Structure 1
Amino acid sequence: MPLDIQSAAAPEGAARPPEGGRRGPREIPLRGMRGMIAARMRESLQSSAQLTHHAGAELGALQALRDHCRAAGLPAPSVQDLLLRLVVQTLAEFPALNATLEDNRIIEHPGVHLGLAVPLPDDLLVAPALFDAQVIALGALPGARRALVAKARAGTLGVRELTGASFTVSNLGRSRVHHFTPILNVPQVAILGIGGTQWRALPDEDGGVRLAEVIGLSLTFDHRAVNGAPAAAFLDRLGERIETLASDAFDHELTQ
């Protein structure tokens, strides 16, 4: 029988190194916050009828608004904050999506309590609520968003902030992912995924082709509470807002 030199040389009870010097598998227990998040994701998929619509919108008008702000000496809002503001405005027209489904009752909320998906260390994720986002002016939105993200990363969020959102936005805009399928943050009935941008060849008014930067939009909704047609109409309206935004649309909000 061949002599196992490693076993013979190792002290009694010592762990034998992985064969070939390779590191063994890493075990990550599903407990604590990770376990809670895992349970919530499973509950979401098991307790709701989830469907996702995908769409896209050109960013030219948003970029033009940022250029206008710089030229006018106003703070130029980020694309992220502009999109959040337009989402909130669109939800005001579609109250069925700013809703939760609780105890077999659909509850449409009068205020937009906007959940923001925030990645944490160790691949964890929370989505705290920015309460009454409809009354937060665009100029104040970056500060409110950054303060909420800071609380999430410091671990100082309250229970109400963690559970009080009426609609959530998950943003992967800095990645190569153009479309994805966000999972509902139950009991909410809808969540919007914002993907990265792509340059696309689109038809122009003269029958030719033009290049446009297009951002991906993915809306997951609970089909028990929202049908496909109003979900598509929400994406259509949001895309329309993004693409037809007037350069001076938010001048008054940026000074507040």
Structure 2
Amino acid sequence: MSDNVIALKGMRGMIADNMRRSLDEAAQLTHHASCDVTRLLAYKKLLNDEGIKVSVEDLLCDCVVSTLQAHPAMNGRVKGKDIVLSSAIHLSVAIALPGNLLVAPTIFDAETLSLQQKGEARKALIAKARKGKLSIAEMTKGTFTVSNLGLSRVEHFTPIINIPQIAILGIGQTVKRPEINDQGDIEARSMLGLSLTFDHRAVDGGPAAAFLTSLCECIEQV
């Protein structure tokens, strides 16, 4: 029985080349954290009960945008010897496609959009990606990327930076864990794994950790 040989060509080849180039060019480091999404999940249910249909990813992206506004050093691109921080947040969202393909199109000016508008924009990008209708700008002009593996059993992972962007956030599985509350009692809480990979040429470990901490606080205070 012969082996199945799959050529790295076409879009798969482009993805492979970009991944290799990212690891070659960027000084990549990953911070991991877990945050309590019990309140966020309750808020999602409340919105859905009121007829406002949003996903967990939509709510997380909304928190990412808010946190990037407070930590602008994470929002930008590295071009040669320059760090170019963007005044606008162009949020790239990784989308898996059939055939083991992956794209990360961009929600432009995400800081100007409401929660619902961000969700609608993300859905529109998914539809365009599946039809192969994404523009070059949508594929290349992002300033920060979110990659969601929340439907898998992966809690933490090491996402590869979508160069020349400064950072990428990986979203892992949500699991129930016993946690001690403010009253000292143990209760079951929904805990989400987050992984932030950043380019150490542009951002040091401390500011990256501060961003991830602020993001967790934003999520937990929804």
Normalised-by-shorter TM-score class:
over 0.9
User: What's 2:170 paired with?
Assistant: 193
Q: State the 1:74 CA deviation.
A: 4.1
User: Structure 2 counterpart of 1:69, which letter?
Assistant: L
Mapped partners of 1:129, 1:50: distance in 2: 22
Mapped partners of 2:182, 2:117: distance in 1: 38
Q: State the 1:126 CA deviation.
A: 0.8
Asked if 1:51 is matched to 2:29, the reply is yes
Q: State the 1:76 CA deviation.
A: 4.1
User: Structure 1 counterpart of 2:11, which letter?
Assistant: M
Mapped partners of 2:106, 2:181: distance in 1: 40
User: What's 1:26 paired with?
Assistant: 4
TM-score (norm 2): 0.96
| 1:123-156 deviations in Å (ceiling 9; x for gaps) | 0111111111111111222221111111111111
Q: CA RMSD in A?
A: 1.2
In structure 2, relative to structure 1, the CA distance for the partners of 1:64 and 1:26 (3 Å cut) is same
User: Structure 2 counterpart of 1:60, which letter?
Assistant: T
Please give the secondary structure, in 2, of the residue aligned with 1:239: helix
Q: Matched residues, percent identical?
A: 50
Please give the secondary structure, in 1, of the residue aligned with 2:188: strand
Please give the secondary structure, in 2, of the residue aligned with 1:202: strand
TM-score (norm 1): 0.84
Mapped partners of 2:53, 2:34: distance in 1: 23
In structure 2, relative to structure 1, the CA distance for the partners of 1:34 and 1:67 (3 Å cut) is closer
User: Structure 2 counterpart of 1:43, which letter?
Assistant: R
User: What's 1:5 paired with?
Assistant: none
Mapped partners of 1:74, 1:119: distance in 2: 28
* Runs of at least 5 residues in structure 1 that lack an aligned partner in the other structure: 1-17, 19-23, 246-256
Mapped partners of 2:103, 2:221: distance in 1: 32
Aligned residues: 222
Out of 125, 144, 148, the residue aligned to residue 171 of structure 1 is 148
User: What's 2:137 paired with?
Assistant: 160
| 1:165-211 deviations in Å (ceiling 9; x for gaps) | 00000000111100000000110010000001111111222333221
Q: State the 1:33 CA deviation.
A: 1.1
Q: State the 1:29 CA deviation.
A: 0.7
Q: Is the 8 A contact 1:182 1:218 kept in 2?
A: yes
* Runs of at least 5 residues in structure 2 that lack an aligned partner in the other structure: none
User: What's 1:100 paired with?
Assistant: 77
